[in-house]
Each structure stands twice: as C-alpha cells, then as structure tokens.
C-alpha cells in the first residue's frame, strides 16, 4: 500500500499488509533513517537575525531537522621540502539545523544550534560511518526488531552502538548516547493500537535530546507470522495425532532442517554424535550424503541457516573434541571431561555444486544455536563452560563473527531457551530450562513469572569436569534440550519434550520414555496440552517446520494416547513425522 506523509516531526505512516508490505515496512524505516544522514556538503551564504542560509552542492537534498557540522578554513599547510601550499586545515566551529524542506536551487533556511557562524563557512554531513545509539523498548517484538536492526546494519551507513538503560526518557537516552560517542539516538518500539501492531522509530539528537524524526508502519498479521521465530504456523489446536510416517534411519541423536543444496526443498540433516547424514524427504526418506566425523569428536548441536546469503544454507556443528559425554538415561556411567585434552572445535559445513559438502570453517571455539532467522554464538570458556557472552552472529569479510549481544536471564545459556509472545501482544518473554530440567518463564522485563513444579527430565548429553574447588570438586554441565515456539489460534505456544519413566512388559524397550507437551501461559497459570505420549527410549531432538513436526527417537516403539503400546521394534533410531496442518 502507499505511504502517506503527515506533518509533524518527520512522522510517516505506512501499512505492511502484504508480502511486499513486509519488505516496505523494514526498508521504509531504514530508508527514512538514512535520509537524515545522506553525505552532503555546502556553504553558509548568509547569517542574519532570522537565521542562517546554506547552499548545498551537487543536488544534495536536505530534510527538516537535519543537522550539519560547520567548518571554517584554518591555517595553511605546506610541503615539508618544497614549501608548496598543499591546503588548509579545518576547524569544527558549530552546528546548524535545517528548518524547512523546501528550497530554491539547493538553498535552505537553517538555525544555529551552536557556534559563531560566518558567511563562507562550510557545512557538511560526513561520508564516514555515523555512530548511532540504538535502543529498543523491552516490550518490542524481538523478530521485528531483529529484522530492522539487521537492515540498518547491512546498509553500511551506521556504526550501531548499544547499551542498557533503565528507562526511555529522551534525555536519558541522549546522555547515554553522548557517553558512547554517538551523535544521534534511535528508539525502536512495536506499539499496539486497536489490535494492530506497528513499527515505530524515533530519532533524537544526542546534544539536546531533540526529536527530529518519527516514523510508524502498521504491520499485518501475515507479516508477523513470516517473521516469527521458527517461521511456522500450526493452524489447528494441538491434539493427539497419528504420525503421517515413520522412518528407520541408521542412527540419530541431533537434527535440523533447511535447504542446504539450493534445490528449493528442505533437507533433513541428522547427526549421530559423530557422523552426519543428509536426507531428502519426498514420498520416502532417502539418504543422499554422509559426512564422516573425526575420531574422538562429539557433536553437541546441529543447526542450519543461510547466514552468508548465497542460497545454500550452512550446517553449523557444535563439536567437542576428545570429550566423553554421558547420556542422561545412563547416569550410572558418567565419564569425566578432561579439560586439558577436550576443546570445543565447532565447524561449519557448506555444499558446493562441484565438490559436494565440505567444512568451510573449522576449530571455532563457539557453541552454535539458530533461533528463527538468527544464528547465536557463545564462546567456550574453560572452567566456566557457558560463561561466555551470547551474541548474534554476522557474516562479515568472509567470516562468521559475534556481533550484537543477547541479554539473557542469569543462569540461561545458548541452549534450551526460546522467545515467546503468548498472545501476540508485543510483549516477548523468554522460557528456559535449567540444568536440572526445570522450566522458568521470564516476562519481557526479565522478571521471573513461573517455574515448573517438576523436572522435564535429564538431558541426553551431559558432561562432568573436575575442579580445583574443595567444596565442589566435580562440576556437571548439560546441553539443554530444545524448546520451539509455535503459532496457534490463541497466540504462541512452546513445544517441550518431557523424559519420564516408562514401564513396559515388552522386553527390549528399555526403562525410559518421553512425552511431548505444548505449553501456554494465560497470564497467571501455565496450561499444558499432551501432544504425544509414551515414546519409548527417548526423543533426542526434534524440529518444527511450517506445521510439520519431526522428531528422532532412540528406542523401539512409539504409541499415542489413543493407540498406546503399538508399533514395531526397531534397532536404530526412528524419525517420526506429524502434520498438524491437515487436522
């Protein structure tokens, strides 16, 4: 839809009510911000009681509220040998602000913000990166904020600076921006009015906290769904479902999905903890590639995302070398993690049409996890394991680098958490496991709202290490299980796997089982819906893709609530596929 310009402090309204609108909402905000920082230069032509007149060069266009630095010719400087005049220094002597957008052949009326200006002074907006302090309302929609932040960053125009603040008073923000060395402040929020969410951006100058631009776009529900974490939509209420299909695979511990070969279809990538197999899923599952792992290597997680935007999604493998893991199902056989030998040597695998799958980055000391369209990285810290900062990752200069920090509650780490907006109200909370399998819910301010009364069970991969502490000579740490946010008719819910004792008279099934629940917070109580019951062995990983649930079970049978204790014995792992959209 069209964008309407309204009189005010640069206020713009638009509507992102279509797929094109989604792009317009983000790019429109970005371009609006950029328009106030276009590299420009000109000259002060008149200084009077009523203001300042400036003449811009080369068809440069100014907007009301733009500020130009003012420079005056300084001392000459000469060649040290020949004495030839090379040029003149410049002194920054003030600032002017444009008071109107209309101009006559590049001439604008401005006012002096600071400094004693004279005719002939130079006005300029630098072509170098602008330092911009970026703040977002804690109630802001995380996915929308991410999309906008990345759009600004990818423009290459700004050095985005972030810092924690307790409130959003413009003078507080401007003060923090000055501390950071930023010339301007950007405040991002996603307010809700008449059940419609908007993207709102305000720009303030750091010197005096003056508002010089505000832009707002309405966002359609379809736009929100496309940007939400995990990018899926389950159209019906969750219920007990028969699997559409089940497949016996060679072995499996970890899984993820994505288009890793740019053929337009998503592949299923499965790790057994050391080797990786890639499957296509059409009428039947078919293994198309096998990547042999290194001896002594233990995969901790596997994720897929096309971060470098070349059309072929990368496979991010978090790997521990020479580390002995123990299964949460077999805690009697705990093996130690030797800190002197064991190192985190994560790597990235990518497909090439001529050479197939190969490692493109190796020996990376980071844990990886993908949430929505964002890759998270947390640096391995010996002795503290998950003590490093969690950052969003960026692809820059041919490398995967930690970028924007992610603020997590104390005790949370890169694994076992998800963002969730229960009612699509714009208030995004966070749910996370602790190391004992208990769930905690935090609101958008970081305040704890709820903790599960019972544990959801031990995690599949756990480690222990010896310490130098007399009080705690052994420290145990786990790779916390996956939590996935899904969209339902009443808002967002969280899928979680619970590992429970499983008693059966059928020999060979083992002594453990698992259940899958959907959790929903109504504002005061946590409700749960049992999705799957009595999965023998253990669900070691799972994935949701556009209303389809895939899970790997190490064990022999699965039974649903309405069809318990049925199925076939299987020697390896089983991949189960459920389709919620069809019900």
pLDDT on residue 229: 40
Residue 473 sits in which domain range? 245-579
Domain count, the chain: 3
Domain boundary among 104, 125, 146: 125
Percent of the chain with pLDDT over 70: 78
Contact call for residues 67 and 77 (beta carbons, < 8 A): no
Beta bridge partners of 494: 485, 519
CATH of residue 97's domain is 2.40.10
Q: What is the mean pLDDT of the chain?
A: 81
pLDDT for 478-499, tens place per residue?
Answer: 899 999 998 877 789 999 988 8
Domain boundary among 88, 105, 125: 125
Question: Is residue 546 one of the residues assigned to a domain?
Answer: yes
pTM of the full predicted structure?
Answer: 0.57
Identify the band that residue 576 occupies on the pLDDT scale cut at 50, 70 and 90: confident
Question: Is residue 135 one of the residues assigned to a domain?
Answer: yes
Domain boundary among 163, 193, 225: 225
CATH of residue 203's domain is 3.40.50.10610
Question: Is residue 368 one of the residues assigned to a domain?
Answer: yes
Which residue, among 97, 93, 89, has the nearest Cα to 54 in the 3D structure? Answer: 97
Contact call for residues 473 and 466 (beta carbons, < 8 A): yes
Question: Is residue 4 one of the residues assigned to a domain?
Answer: no
Q: How far is CA 344 from CA 300, 301, 365, in A?
A: 10, 12, 5
What is the separation of C-alpha 529 from the centre of its chain, rounded to a whole number of angstroms? 28
pLDDT on residue 244: 64
pLDDT for 295-314, tens place per residue?
Answer: 888 999 999 999 999 999 99
pLDDT for 189-218, tens place per residue?
Answer: 989 877 778 899 999 999 999 999 999 988
Percent of the chain with pLDDT over 90: 49
Question: Is residue 237 one of the residues assigned to a domain?
Answer: no
What residue ranges in 365-460 does DSSP mark as E strands?
366-371, 374-379, 390-396, 399-405, 417-420, 429-433, 439-442, 448-451
């Amino acid at each position: 839809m069209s964008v309407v310009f309204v009189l005010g402090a640069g206020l713009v309204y638009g509507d992102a009510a279509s797929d094109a609108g989604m792009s317009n909402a983000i790019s429109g905000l970005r371009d609006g911000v950029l328009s106030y920082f276009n590299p420009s230069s000109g000259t002060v032509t008149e200084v009077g009681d009523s203001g300042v007149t400036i003449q811009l060069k080369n068809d440069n266009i100014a907007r009301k509220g733009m500020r130009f630095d003012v420079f005056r010719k300084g001392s000459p400087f000469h060649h040290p040998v020949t004495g030839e005049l090379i040029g003149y220094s410049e002194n920054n002597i003030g600032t002017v602000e444009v008071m109107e957008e209309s101009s006559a052949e590049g001439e604008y009326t401005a006012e002096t913000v600071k400094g004693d200006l004279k005719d002939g002074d130079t006005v300029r907006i630098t072509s170098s990166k602008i330092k911009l302090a970026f703040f977002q309302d804690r109630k802001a929609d995380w996915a929308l904020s991410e999309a906008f932040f990345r759009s600004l960053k990818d423009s290459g125009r700004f050095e985005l600076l972030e810092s924690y603040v307790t409130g959003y008073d413009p003078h507080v923000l401007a003060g923090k921006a000055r501390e950071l060395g930023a010339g301007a402040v950007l405040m991002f929020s996603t307010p809700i009015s008449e059940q419609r969410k908007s993207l709102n951006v305000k720009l303030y100058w750091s010197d005096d906290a003056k508002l010089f631009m505000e832009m707002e776009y309405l966002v359609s529900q379809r736009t929100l769904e496309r940007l939400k974490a995990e990018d899926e939509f389950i159209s019906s209420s969750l219920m007990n479902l028969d699997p559409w299909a089940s497949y016996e695979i060679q072995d499996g511990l970890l899984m993820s999905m994505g288009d890793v070969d740019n053929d337009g279809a998503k592949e299923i990538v499965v790790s057994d903890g050391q080797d990786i197999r890639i499957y296509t899923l059409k009428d039947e599952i078919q293994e198309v590639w096998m990547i042999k792992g290194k001896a002594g290597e233990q995969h901790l997680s596997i994720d897929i995302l096309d971060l470098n935007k070349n059309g072929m999604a990368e496979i991010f493998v978090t790997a521990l070398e020479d580390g002995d893991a123990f299964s949460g199902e077999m805690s009697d056989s705990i093996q130690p993690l030797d800190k002197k030998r064991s190192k985190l040597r994560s790597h990235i695998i990518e497909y090439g049409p001529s050479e197939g799958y190969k490692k493109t980055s190796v020996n990376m000391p980071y844990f990886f996890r993908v949430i929505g369209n964002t890759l998270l990285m947390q640096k391995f810290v010996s002795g503290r394991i998950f003590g490093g900062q969690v950052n969003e990752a960026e692809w820059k200069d041919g490398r995967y680098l930690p970028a924007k920090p992610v603020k997590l509650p104390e005790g949370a780490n890169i694994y076992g958490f998800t963002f969730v907006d229960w009612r699509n109200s714009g208030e995004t909370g966070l749910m996370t496991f602790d190391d004992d399998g208990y769930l905690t819910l935090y609101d958008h301010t970081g305040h704890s709202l709820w903790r599960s009364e019972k544990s959801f069970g031990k995690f599949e991969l756990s480690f222990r290490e010896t310490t130098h502490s007399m009080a705690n000579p052994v420290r145990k740490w786990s790779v916390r299980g996956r939590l996935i946010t899904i969209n339902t008719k009443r808002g967002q819910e969280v899928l979680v796997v619970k590992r429970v004792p499983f008693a059966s008279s059928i020999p060979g099934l083992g002594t453990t089982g698992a259940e899958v629940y959907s959790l929903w917070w109504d504002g005061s109580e946590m409700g749960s819906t049992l999705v799957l019951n009595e999965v023998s062995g253990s669900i070691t990983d799972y994935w949701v893709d556009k209303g389809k649930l895939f899970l790997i079970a190490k064990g022999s049978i699965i039974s649903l609530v309405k069809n318990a204790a049925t199925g076939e014995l299987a020697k390896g792992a089983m991949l189960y596929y459920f389709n919620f959209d069809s019900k």
